[in-house]
């Protein structure tokens, strides 16, 4: 399994996440946009997920809730601003526990000849908002999500007939 690199330069409102997958760009993108597949990997393993909506298309939106063993809920929502199949997703991200703190994620999918490099650049509204997100344990969630995405994308995905992988 490849490592996940998280970079958060001091004094900036940015976070960069980079991960390489031993799966094609078709599979990684499909696992990132198919609601049934997203529900299998998004979030830490110890949380259950209720995926209320996940319409990964330009102008679409999403909403989901993670629930821990004690019953605490963590709700998230956002809008897909740009979805270019197998190339790029630009979306907003908002945690209900920090209302009105909306970040913008730009994720690219780079073809490495049968393998894929995923790079997400996240812009927060302030350095303080970025630092609060990091302090919340976000790194754990990102690393576990990327490990789980690797498992899903590296497995036998139910591909659509037009998928050429």
Say if 126 falls within a structural domain: yes
- Residue 70 CB contacts under 8 Å (≥ 6 apart), including other chains: none
Rounded to whole angstroms, the Cα distance separating 114 from 33 reads 19
Say if 56 falls within a structural domain: no
> Any idea which residue has 């909403």 for tokens?
63
The number of domains in the chain is 1
Domain extent at residue 27: 4-44+84-153
Residue 162 has a pLDDT of 44
Residue 76 has a pLDDT of 97
Whether 46 contacts 52, CB under 8 Å? no
Say if 148 falls within a structural domain: yes
Rounded to whole angstroms, the Cα distance separating 133 from 57 reads 26
Instruction: Report which of 68, 135, 126 is spatially closest to residue 100, judged by C-alpha positions.
Output: 126
Say if 133 falls within a structural domain: yes
Q: Which backbone phi and psi does 96 adopt, to 5 degrees? A: -60, -25
Tell me: pLDDT of 161 over 50.
no
Rounded to whole angstroms, the Cα distance separating 64 from 56 reads 13
Chain segment 15-43, per-residue pLDDT in tens: 999 999 999 999 999 999 999 999 999 99
- Residue 121 CB contacts under 8 Å (≥ 6 apart), including other chains: 14, 15, 16, 105, 106, 107
Q: What is the pTM of this model?
A: 0.92
Residue 155 has a pLDDT of 81
Whether 79 contacts 63, CB under 8 Å? no
Say if 149 falls within a structural domain: yes
| CATH code where residue 132 lies | 3.30.530.20
Say if 135 falls within a structural domain: yes
- Residue 85 CB contacts under 8 Å (≥ 6 apart), including other chains: 29
- Residue 56: pLDDT band (50, 70, 90) is very high
DSSP state of 56: -
Whether 78 contacts 92, CB under 8 Å? yes
Residue 157 has a pLDDT of 60
Rounded to whole angstroms, the Cα distance separating 29 from 87 reads 8
Rounded to whole angstroms, the Cα distance separating 114 from 140 reads 28
Say if 9 falls within a structural domain: yes
Say if 59 falls within a structural domain: no
Q: How many residues does the chain have?
A: 165
Tell me: pLDDT of 164 over 80.
no
């Amino acid at each position: 399994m490849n490592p996940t690199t998280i970079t958060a330069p001091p004094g900036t409102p940015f976070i960069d996440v980079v991960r390489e997958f031993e799966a094609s760009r078709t599979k990684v993108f499909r696992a990132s946009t198919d609601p049934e597949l997203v529900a299998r990997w998004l979030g830490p393993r110890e949380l259950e997920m209720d995926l209320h909506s996940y319409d990964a298309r330009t102008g679409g939106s999403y909403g989901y809730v993670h629930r821990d063993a004690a019953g605490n809920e963590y709700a998230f929502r956002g809008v897909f601003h740009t979805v270019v199949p197998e190339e790029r997703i630009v979306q907003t991200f908002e945690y209900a526990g920090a209302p009105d703190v909306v970040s913008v994620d730009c994720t690219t999918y780079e073809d490495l000849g049968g393998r894929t490099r995923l790079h997400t650049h996240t812009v927060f509204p302030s350095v303080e908002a970025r630092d609060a997100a990091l302090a919340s344990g976000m790194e754990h969630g990102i690393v576990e999500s990327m490990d789980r995405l690797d498992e899903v994308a590296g497995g036998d995905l139910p591909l659509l007939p037009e998928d050429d992988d």
